[in-house]
Amino acid sequence: MPINRVKKLLNPDGFLGQASKIAVLTIVGQLAYFLAGPIISRIYTPEEVGLYGLTLFLYILLCGGLSFFFDMSISSTLSDRKANRISYFCYKLGMFSSGLGSIVFAILILLNISDLGKIPLWFVLVFFVGLIIQNCIQIFNYVLVRNGNVVVIAESNLLLNFCRGFIQVTGGFLTSVSLILMGAEIIGRFFSLIYLQRKFAALKLRFQNWKYDYVIFKSELKTAVAFFPSYIADSLAVFLQSLIVGAYFGATEMGIYFMMRRTLDMPIAFITRALSDLIFSKQVNLSKTSYKLLKNFHIKITALLLLLGFLMLTPVVIWGEELFSFVYGSDWSNAGKMAAIMVPGYLISIAVVPSARIFAISRKQHLRLYPSIFNLLSTVFLSLYLYAFNLDLWGLIIAFSIIMSTHYLIYFGVSYIAMINSGKSFE
């Protein structure tokens, strides 16, 4: 390898330099997020955490679909003018979606679903502002990806984690207002957005005639259709599961359930972020050579991740209650019991990380919808079963674990079939 090429790779602004920065920023950000948990669990009650968790799940569900995934086209568009038009289209679409999402939130509060009636109605306005902020962040992120400034995104995420944790902790000590938990999420995102604007010249979004919106809608509809339905189905299933716990067993149990998910999601989210791009790069290179090599690599890396997940999660199965009691306090021991039951689903979710990229390589993104539909319909059916028959909390958690495990097994199976059926295109 020529010396100049090595210097380019090792340059702070080169690939390895940026990758190292992103890794360090991600580790520090996740650490800040994790360390806030044991303090939050000792300041706030499980009921307060439960209302925060359900509101956050709804917020995440709505945020991902604010622009209906039209914003994904920003990063792949070659023309600056078209990228600008897509961004403006997504901005307007996000404003409209934020309004609809806030109305849904208001209805849930008025109906007192899962004790959400304890949240004052004026907080809907804060929720609306939070959705608008996140829509702007997502647009900026895709613009930054398009311009190769990915490190800035990692820096803004680090700022979000620190601001959110600091406000949640200090707010809990200084006030008795539990709304500070969700308010900190939105304030943290506000500072993140300000940082993005300061580090990168803002898009000069100008008013454009509606006919351009229609052109963008037609040209980028395929991208939205490929990703939006499966995202909504999976996110809605997660939200409904938390909603079911709260509706049938109360906000306290919902808070314990949320703390369990928050804890198990953290290391898994970090692993997937750290390894996903590396695995994808290898998969792409192998797909250009031989689909048999790709298939062998796919099986091996899946088995390796399964082993890694087993080593990580085995302590949760054995000492779940003790670990959660030690980290979060004695009030949260049941979260450890829930975590032990949910381990099979989380274990399989780690193993199927390579499967997510197979859909893109095989150009069969629409197949992702099948496991997502199963996930959503199974959750809805479980809710109806719970309404008609008696099922205790632990039976419900076992059912959630079965649904999650089966969902990811189907996900792996569908991706594997897509890879095999697309084998000729890999040769």
pLDDT in tens, 11-49: 555 555 666 777 788 788 888 888 899 999 999 999 999
DSSP code string of 185-236: HHHHHHHHHHHHHHHSPPP------HHHHHHHHHHHHHHHHHHHHHHHHHHH
Determine, yes or no, domain membership for 240.
no
The confidence score (pLDDT) of residue 19 equals 64
In a domain, 405, yes or no: yes
On the question of pLDDT at 9 being above 50, the answer is no
410, 378 in Cβ contact below 8 A? no
- pTM metric for this prediction: 0.86
Residue 100 lies in a domain: no
156-195: b (≥16 Cβ within 10 Å) or e: bbbbbbbbbbebbbebbeeeeebbbbbbbbbbbbbbbbeb
Residue 38 lies in a domain: no
**Is there a domain that residue 118 lies in?**
no
User: Which residues span the domain enclosing 271?
Assistant: 250-427
Note whether 160 and 215 are within 8 A (CB): no
Per-residue pLDDT reduced to its tens digit, 344-386: 999 999 888 888 778 767 777 778 889 999 999 999 999 999 8
Q: Is residue 146 domain-resident?
A: no
Q: Do residues 269 and 59 lie in contact, with contact meaning Cβ atoms separated by under 8 Å?
A: no
Residue 96, classified by CB atoms within 10 Å of its CB into exposed (0-12), middle (13-18) or buried (19+), is exposed
Task: Give domain status of residue 47, yes or no.
Answer: no
Lowest-pLDDT choice from 4-13, 260-269, 314-323, 402-411:
4-13
Measured distance CA(239)–CA(267) in Å, rounded: 21
Query: Is 31 among the domain residues?
Result: no
List of residues 6+ apart from 378 with CB closer than 8 A: 237, 403, 406, 407
Asked if residues 267 and 339 have their Cβ atoms less than 8 Å apart, the reply is: no
Could you give the number of structural domains in the chain? Answer: 1
